[in-house]
Structure 1
């Protein structure tokens, strides 16, 4: 905990505080976080020291502060006024997310002060690349803070999982259901080499975070009771040199959120593999919902890069509209990446 000259107190959120503040606040902003905050614990574990919130110590002797309090509300003692995450990945990457100030106290600098404190967590050592996904209204403000580079514009595509499997891709869905699509398996299948997944993400989107990627995959493995699923597409003739297992040509995950199911990531060598992975996820979710309803709408939200023309073609063809654009921005070097393999990013919250 640290205290600013203005009386603002900065705290590093523990697990329970992260679940409380970051899930509650992102829900109130209609960011559609994971169902009941089940994914916040995993996101927090990516960097337990990287989740910050701030409160303001009420002034008792400053007449100017007392006068201001008569015309505008002053935060109560221990009332949270802003949150932000600043997650470290290795020695040279970081990610800013969950940047929210309380609507009651916006315009007073509380959010920016917390952002600055969190940013300090990323920069004691040299950080080659620090990224974030910026809502369009804040792009210019982030540029003023040094985020002058960008890699792509995310488009949040939104569509019905039921229509996907029962109407739009009925033929493909029937083949998948009958196990007639060779190589398409759940991540829980013993043929899947989970050790390949971090390399796939690093190659396609540029983030190097092996521990988180494997934990994220495990979060989606064998959790049908929570309606979380992971799927992979395996090569029929190519093997990984180290494990001897089939080469993973793509993988994808889906989890229930507040107002939809969120797909992420969706990495694939091409559009054909990507569509098979997407339809497989939809089949699993629709079947799970029929067996035991969570009450989450059977629609998918997926954030795709505008520069991946194959991804744009898939979702344009499905009629899934872009409901929430945001710009992937960087301070420092843009990591090397191959956007043509990114058919859906992992999360906007921590990259």
Structure 2
């Protein structure tokens, strides 16, 4: 679905009840500041300065970011935020659902949530969200009754990965023993293959977002964002463009308290580990050149139904620090979770 940036801040068509609540759409600049600061206050570990919100998330659906405000004691106060991002004609994603702690229990959050559902459309075949465990029952009451999988946030040391547990693999990568392992900006990487990989493994159909997300990571190494891919080396080529087949790819970005990996898709666990270690190596090199002040830790949100992925992180000794449930209103998109070693984001899918 093609959507346009609103020419001005628009008041959404939601009811003004409860109380004096009004719900408005955010511009990209508003969203990057407001959604980042609120995610930070909730300890969600958002990407540095909300750059992904402004440059990629909001662009995916410029009409899908909302905030609720009330007028009390002679002034306006923001009391809720949410995003409802439409992907094509039949999918959407609900995220950034936060109500102000000072105003919870007054119905403002729920009314804003309803506005996001209204925006994405009640006839949409699949609407997803990643719900914290404490809110699962509430999401079910709102129609999110189908379960895709449960995510585990695995947390571990980048330095430990590179210098200890996978030191031999790091040395082999440095020696060029895996010629298919390249950075996303390599000329041999066919970015047009990436949306099909995501649809195959996660079920999400959003080609524009996938390519924007890849470019967001691939072309700003000075900001410590990286993308890597693993290409076929047996001469197999894509029929349309004549480039090697992409067998997996992954991205990493600095956040407030760690580096966040996502997505990490691969046809085999061996390729997934290579991609993970390559991302870690790129981060270490960047940090040695110019530290960016982010803790040298990885956070990886991985489906626990992918047993091979869980084994990788179990073997590394990386613990689960934050579980959440991938839930759907409507049907769960067809997917192969065994290729998902890290989801793209919890915020927009």
TM range, normalised to the smaller chain? over 0.9
Aligned twin of 1:255: 253
Deviation track 1:165-192 (CA, whole Å, cap 9, x = no partner) reads 1000000001112222120000010000
Task: Work out which of the residue numbers 28, 43, 59 in structure 2 matches 1:45.
Answer: 59
Identify which of 29, 37, 40 aligns with 2:42.
29
User: Superposition pairs for residues 110-125 of structure 1, below 5 Å?
Assistant: 110-123=108-121
Aligned counterparts of 1:235 and 1:251: Cα–Cα separation in 2: 12
Q: Which runs of 5+ in 1 are unaligned?
A: 59-73
Mapped partners of 1:224, 1:85: distance in 2: 28
CA distance in 1, matches of 2:233, 2:175: 18
Counterpart contact for 2:71–2:77, Cα < 8 Å = no
- Asked if 2 retains the 8 angstrom alpha-carbon contact of 1:55 and 1:77, the reply is no
Uncovered stretches (5+) of structure 2, i.e. residues with no partner: 1-10
> Secondary structure of 2:138's match?
helix
Q: Relative to structure 2, which stretch is displaced further, 140-149 or 232-241?
A: 232-241
Instruction: Establish whether residue 146 from structure 1 lines up as the match of residue 121 from structure 2.
Output: no
Q: Deviations over 1:311-344 (max 9, x none)?
A: 0000000000000000000000100000000000
SS of the residue 2:257 aligns to: coil
What CA deviation, in whole Å up to 9, does each residue of 1:253-295 have, x standing for no partner? 0000000000000000010000000000000001101100110
Aligned to 1:68: none
SS at match of 1:96: strand
**Distance between the aligned counterparts of 1:234 and 1:57, measured in 2?**
56
How many matched pairs? Answer: 334
Report the Cα distance in structure 2 between the residues aligned to 1:178 and 1:172, rounded to whole angstroms.
Answer: 10
CA positional deviation for 1:208:
0.2
Distance 2:29 2:120 in 1: 22
Per the alignment, residue 71 of structure 2 pairs with 57
CA deviations 1:190-236 (Å, max 9, x no partner) are 00000000000000000000000000000011311100000000011
- Find the partner of 1:195 among 192, 209, 234: 192
Query: Does the aligned pair in 1 maintain the 2:94–2:348 contact within 8 Å?
Result: yes
Task: Give the Cα–Cα distance (whole angstroms) in 2 for the partners of residues 7 and 91 of structure 1.
Answer: 33
Aligned partner (choices 156, 162, 165) of residue 162 of structure 2: 165
1:4 aligns to 2:1 (yes or no): no
Q: Which residue of 2 aligns with 1:127?
A: 124
- Check if 1:229 corresponds to 2:242: no
SS at match of 1:284: helix
> What CA deviation, in whole Å up to 9, does each residue of 1:96-122 have, x standing for no partner?
000000011111111001001111001
| DSSP 3-state at the match of 1:245 | coil
Residue 299 of structure 1 corresponds to 297
What is the CA distance between 1:16 and its match in structure 2? Answer: 1.2
| 1:260-299 to 2 correspondences below 5 Å | 260-299=258-297
Counterpart of 1:70?
none
Which has the larger Rg? 1
Verify: 1:185 aligned to 2:182, yes or no. Answer: yes
Shift of 1:77: 2.4
The aligned residue for residue 3 of structure 2 is none
Cα distance in 2 for residues equivalent to 1:11 and 1:295 = 35
In 2, Cα distance between the equivalents of 1:277 and 1:19? 29
Once the two structures are superposed, the pairs formed by residues 67-78 of structure 1 within 5 Å of their partners are 77-78=75-76
The 8 Å contact of residues 10 and 52 in structure 1, kept in 2 or not, is answered as: yes
Secondary structure, in 3 states, of the residue corresponding to 1:57?
strand
User: Does structure 2 retain, via aligned residues, the 8 Å contact 1:303–1:344?
Assistant: yes
1:102 paired residue number: 100
- Distance in 1 of aligned mates of 2:161 and 2:143: 41
Which residue of 1 is the match for residue 89 of structure 2?
A: 91
- Contact 1:50 1:86 (C-alpha < 8 Å) held by counterparts: yes
